[in-house]
């Protein structure tokens, strides 16, 4: 009888632990995972595309670090050789991050300008961890809970500015390709200078 009561008490305790675990917000679980040793620092190759530029510039090898302070966290990208801070992403950052292969591409909105960062991790696991770090650090939880409409408005504005920046870049590239094609056709249609001089 006593054994049955012990087993039932154990089962109730186990179920209660499962329910408690399921009720923990995902952001809290991610924060706890991010604080585990070895999770915070991820080696990356860093490229930047500055506003009104269509090409990427290679900055070098860096380290992406997840720094937690109380309820807030941020992702800091530093040079692996000099430890110089290249950029920081936090709750105040207006960013959109997406995974492309082993790259995490982060579009940072500053007014109507967009600075893009490309972080190339070593493998798919590091890429997923890096994406989770950025999303967790930049997740505006306070705005979402206090003013959901403002949160949605901010997200839509970020998406709109990044979409417009992408449209402009594609248009510039298309115009450049058209100019190159036109120049090539013009050059082919022109008679060689030496031949025209001989004829005259």
Phi then psi dihedrals of residue 105, to 5 deg: -100, 125
Torsion over CA: 81, 135, 34, 122 (sign): negative
The residues facing 85 across adjacent strands are: 78
Phi and psi based region of residue 83 (left: phi greater than 0; alpha: psi -120 to 50; beta: remaining) = left
Mean pLDDT of 75-89: 95
pLDDT of residue 145: 60
What is each CA distance from 56 to 48, 50, 109, 172, in whole angstroms? 5, 8, 17, 15
Q: Which of 22-36, 63-77, 98-112, 113-127 has the lowest mean pLDDT?
A: 22-36
Q: What is the pLDDT of residues 56-74, one digit of tens each?
A: 999 999 999 998 887 778 9
CA dihedral (156, 170, 88, 133) positive or negative: positive
Select the highest-mean-pLDDT range: 17-26, 73-82, 155-164. Answer: 73-82
CA count, 13 A, side-chain hemisphere, 9: 6
């Amino acid at each position: 009888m006593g054994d049955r009561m012990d087993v039932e008490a154990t089962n109730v305790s186990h179920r209660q632990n499962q329910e408690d675990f399921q009720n923990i917000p995902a952001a809290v679980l991610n924060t706890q995972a991010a604080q585990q040793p070895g999770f915070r620092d991820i080696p990356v190759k860093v490229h930047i595309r500055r506003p009104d530029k269509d090409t990427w510039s290679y900055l070098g090898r860096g380290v992406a670090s997840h720094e937690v302070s109380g309820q807030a966290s941020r992702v800091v990208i530093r040079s692996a050789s000099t430890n110089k801070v290249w950029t920081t992403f936090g709750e105040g950052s207006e960013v959109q991050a997406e995974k492309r292969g082993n790259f995490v591409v982060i579009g940072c909105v500053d007014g109507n300008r967009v600075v893009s960062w490309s972080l190339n991790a070593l493998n798919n696991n590091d890429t997923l961890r890096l994406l989770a770090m950025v999303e967790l650090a930049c997740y505006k939880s306070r705005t979402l809970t206090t003013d959901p409409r403002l949160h949605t408005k901010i997200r839509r504005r970020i998406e709109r500015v990044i979409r417009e920046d992408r449209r402009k870049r594609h248009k510039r590239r298309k115009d450049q390709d058209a100019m190159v094609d036109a120049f090539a056709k013009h050059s082919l249609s022109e008679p060689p200078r030496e031949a025209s001089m001989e004829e005259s």
